[in-house]
Structure 1
Amino acid sequence: MTPEEYAELDATALAALLRDGEVTPDEVRDLAAAALDAAAPLNAVVGERFAAPLDHAADGPFAGVPFVIKDLILHAEGVPQAAGSRLLGDGVPMPSDTHLMTRFRRAGLATLARTATPELGFNATTEPVATGPVRNPWDTTRSPGGSSGGSAALVAARAVPVAHASDGGGSIRIPAAACGLVGLKPSQGRTSPGPDYADPLLGMGIEFVLARTVRDVAGMLDAVHGHEPGDRYLLPDPPRPYADEVGAGCRPLRVAVCTTPFSGGGSVDPRCTAAVESAARTLEGLGHAVEVAAPELDAAAFDAANLVGWTSFLADGVDTLAAALGVEPGPDVLEAASLACAEYGRKLSATDLYAADRVFNATRRAVAAFHRRYDVVLTPTMNVPNTPLGHLDQDDASRDARGWYDHIFSTAGFTALSNVTGNPAISLPLGRTEEGWPVGVQVMAPYGDESTLLALAGDLERATPWAGHRPPAG
């Protein structure tokens, strides 16, 4: 297999070749290692790539497929984690696997490196002071998004076909949009947050992957979804494998189209609106009923509650880590906005958290009622196709906690809603700018209904194929 052939293969195709013996695991490992080295100018890998893949099952559905893990939340036994922050120095070796990491190993994924994240994941770009900015392979002056920007850059550059990612306010879908990938945020509880968490980020956080094709996302969800003992949620299994949905064709749906941000304010780039309108016409052509509609939400209350969720989680994380490491959480180890948000979160009371939860409850119920009339909601993924490096500067001391929150979500006002409601949502690279940058379009489905979401995504992928688009740095 040549490097060019490797770069063209998604995880599903590569797994089939490995399973049939047409290529060996060692050959694929060497090709991936070379591709990761070639992608070094993107600055997406944290530390050195591993000398050998982490242990993994030889008989999993993705046995031998190269993989990378985001340096945040999920962890692997013996592998250091730094969470994009100087607070943890070069990284603290982890004593064990998280449940999802165990499932990635069981799926056969061959983990080769850690990928960069913004400090403690609280940004829509990936430019931590600790390791420097990650560059978007479509335009290296632009951001790959965040907080899973390191993983996104490597998948877009064809260094690996699939990568771990996590999402608390859009951190899978935002980099998917910026880098031209498929980014699915599963339903709350579809993948296990254990054993470290029950409801990370007040239930808004969830982990999964980034990939280039819908079938890879579906196959990965088949491989890793499910309940672990002690998990708070027990979702029913899908009626058939998610991978089967991708090629089956979607039933006729009632589609709501919304191009007004749900949170964060900010204007929407006309190119993002145009991509949604084009996708809506495609869906009409496929037989779906499409109309402009949106759930009725109190955006101001939503933003205030979301700020409480984010800053309280950040404060708890900073204080817990600082105490464990014997480090004072000051400006020498934390970026300015991180410090401001942690200080804000530290002052919140229990009643503040309960007040935020009341808003989240009202939001979930409003969206659930809306889904009685509409099967899916079609929106831009981001307010803009991407952002220039330096625009979302987490070390900007001029912004207080609310100013930092508003700055982030003014670029991504469509993604946080499904984190609060727990609904599954997917970003698909359905648009293109005059510069050649990808533009993401988001589809959100009712809670627990990844099956419909993936069936519709498969139809859109066939109707508006993107596999032939490759970034200049890929």
Structure 2
Amino acid sequence: MTSAERLHAFGDDALGHDDATGVAARIASGEITAAEAVEAAIHRIAQVNPTLNAQAFDDYARARARASRLNRPRGAFGGVPSGLKNNVHIQGMPLTFGSKAMPTSPKTRNGAFVEQFLSTGTIPICTTQTPEFGWTATTERLGGDVTRNPWNPQYSPGGSSGGTAALVAAGALPFAHGNDGGGSIRIPAAACGLVGLKPSRGRTGGDPISARMPVDLVSHGVLTRSVRDTARFFHALEAVYPAPKLARIGLAEHPPTRPLRIGLLIDSPSAPNPTDAETRRVVEATARTLTQAGHTVVDYTPSLSHSFRRDFEDYWSLLAFTIATQGRRLFGPEFRTSGLDPFTLGLSRRFLRRSPRIPLVVARLAASRLAFDREIRRQMDLLLSPVLCHTTPLIGHLSADQPFEQHFERLIAYVGFTPLHNATGAPAISLPVGLSSDGLPIGVMLSSRVGHERTLLEIGFELEEAMPFPRIDA
């Protein structure tokens, strides 16, 4: 797709071509007002959303009111417009998790992470689309209700934070919230040419449903167009949520000051197929760049249990079974099981076939954190891999309307790298260092030990300089 055919809303309004840090600086200096920034974002969403279908619910009236009252912006992103994914509690907003099974009544309080997000000074203006309960790696819902990729609207934006990714990549929002229980920040970041850091388990406020489960897979963060935006966001969160069990990140601003030992993993031991040629090319180019920068890059395969993929799939099925059978208890009497899509129901049925294994599955997944941490500590600083096994698929490849078994097989062939970090709680970052022959973004992933987000951000700064990230508005 040529640059003229890409769909974006960048222009000469109050938001300009700046990242969130740039917009915040212009608001703080008085060059623009928060009200002007919010109005520009609302106008930009109106430009792109009829095609992208990336916004779930708007919160424009409250956003305008907040911006008009903001005389002295405070926080790292004071007055900067943003969005929150449609799977967190926001006072006064519907919460549907992308599902027709859910009621649309507004919530009465903010969730823990939403309070942290607001503490950065940002003004959320909408919620963003997600597939049903975030189960899959696209953002497509029943009946052709799909969210599209601004780099080429015929393609998927990834998932499950695909609505966020589409709006940020298109320039409609400077940054926005995502969360990640199997790759849901990193996958859409890779598909839409963004930076996406899944932080360590416990770095941010918890997900209320996942936190009740025996293994908490979900971490919250943001999708951004620059490494500095991601670094500033997590530094700002530490002021209100210091995560005492983890090393502080601080404000990362520069590349690493010492050479690192980096393991290179190109084919996932958890995937049924090898990584495709285009993705392999980008990962190998990244490895060469890191070597030229003075780092040591060596081939490496983590010593995963041979059962890791099946264990993660079985646990994933347990989560779907919990939603399908306990939805009324979790979400209230208006929850309708009949509204669930075939993938959720198929995962739930799969659990019934696999349920005798669950105690052992939980034990192995719970033990994976320490095993992975010890292995990385002994052998390397970082692990470099693809984010995904192949390039971004066309809309429909992971359609919510297709038979469960077909959807499941296609998903497993696509998502072979990201679940490891959800099971182990380790941090991982997706960086948009390349393009496919069709002009679609390709991301690479770097991961490290629990608590070592700073190293990932520092290597992100280095790669952002050495391999400038493609811009949709170029």
Q: Same fold (TM over 0.5)?
A: yes
Please tell me whether residue 140 in structure 1 is matched to residue 153 in structure 2.
yes
Question: Judging changes above 3 Å, is the alpha-carbon distance between structure 1 residues 284 and 38 closer, same or farther for their aligned structure 2 residues?
Answer: same
Partner in structure 2 of residue 86 of structure 1 = 100
Partner in structure 1 of residue 7 of structure 2 = none
Please tell me whether residue 15 in structure 1 is matched to residue 24 in structure 2.
yes
Partner in structure 1 of residue 82 of structure 2 = 67
Which whole-Å deviations, capped at 9, do the CAs of 1:47-86 have from their partners, x for residues lacking one? 34522318588412211111001101x2211110111111
Counting only pairs closer than 5 Å after superposition, residues 14-413 of structure 1 correspond to structure 2 as 14-40=23-49, 41-53=51-63, 58-72=73-87, 74-89=88-103, 91-129=104-142, 132-193=145-206, 198=211, 202-225=215-238, 234-238=244-248, 241=250, 243=251, 245-299=252-306, 301-323=307-329, 324-330=332-338, 333-345=339-351, 349=355, 352-371=357-376, 372-397=378-403, 399-400=404-405, 404-413=407-416
Q: CA deviation at 1:3?
A: 3.4
CA contact (8 A) 1:269 1:384 kept: yes
> What is the rounded CA distance, in whole Å, between the counterparts of 2:213 and 2:229 in structure 1?
26
Q: 2:270 is aligned with what amino acid?
A: S
5+ unaligned residues in a row in structure 1: which ranges? Answer: none
> What is the rounded CA distance, in whole Å, between the counterparts of 1:227 and 1:105 in structure 2?
11
Which whole-Å deviations, capped at 9, do the CAs of 1:156-175 have from their partners, x for residues lacking one? 00001111001011000000
The alignment-based identity, stated in percent, is 34
Q: 2:37 is aligned with what amino acid?
A: V
Which whole-Å deviations, capped at 9, do the CAs of 1:380-421 have from their partners, x for residues lacking one? 111112011000122223x34xx6444312112011111111
> What is the rounded CA distance, in whole Å, between the counterparts of 1:235 and 1:131 in structure 2?
44
> What is the rounded CA distance, in whole Å, between the counterparts of 2:207 and 2:345 in structure 1?
27
> What is the rounded CA distance, in whole Å, between the counterparts of 1:7 and 1:199 in structure 2?
43
CA contact (8 A) 1:98 1:196 kept: no
> Does the residue aligned with 2:400 lie in a helix, a strand or coil?
coil
Give the TM-score normalised by structure 2.
Answer: 0.90
5+ unaligned residues in a row in structure 2: which ranges? Answer: 1-9
> What is the rounded CA distance, in whole Å, between the counterparts of 1:341 and 1:196 in structure 2?
17
Task: Give the number of aligned pairs.
Answer: 456
CA contact (8 A) 2:58 2:125 kept: no
Q: CA deviation at 1:326?
A: 4.4
> What is the rounded CA distance, in whole Å, between the counterparts of 2:220 and 2:213 in structure 1?
10
Question: Judging changes above 3 Å, is the alpha-carbon distance between structure 1 residues 412 and 7 closer, same or farther for their aligned structure 2 residues?
Answer: farther
> What is the rounded CA distance, in whole Å, between the counterparts of 2:473 and 2:42 in structure 1?
19
> What is the rounded CA distance, in whole Å, between the counterparts of 1:251 and 1:163 in structure 2?
32
Task: Identify the range of structure 1 (138-147 vs 301-310) with the bigger mean alpha-carbon deviation.
Answer: 301-310
Q: CA deviation at 1:206?
A: 1.0
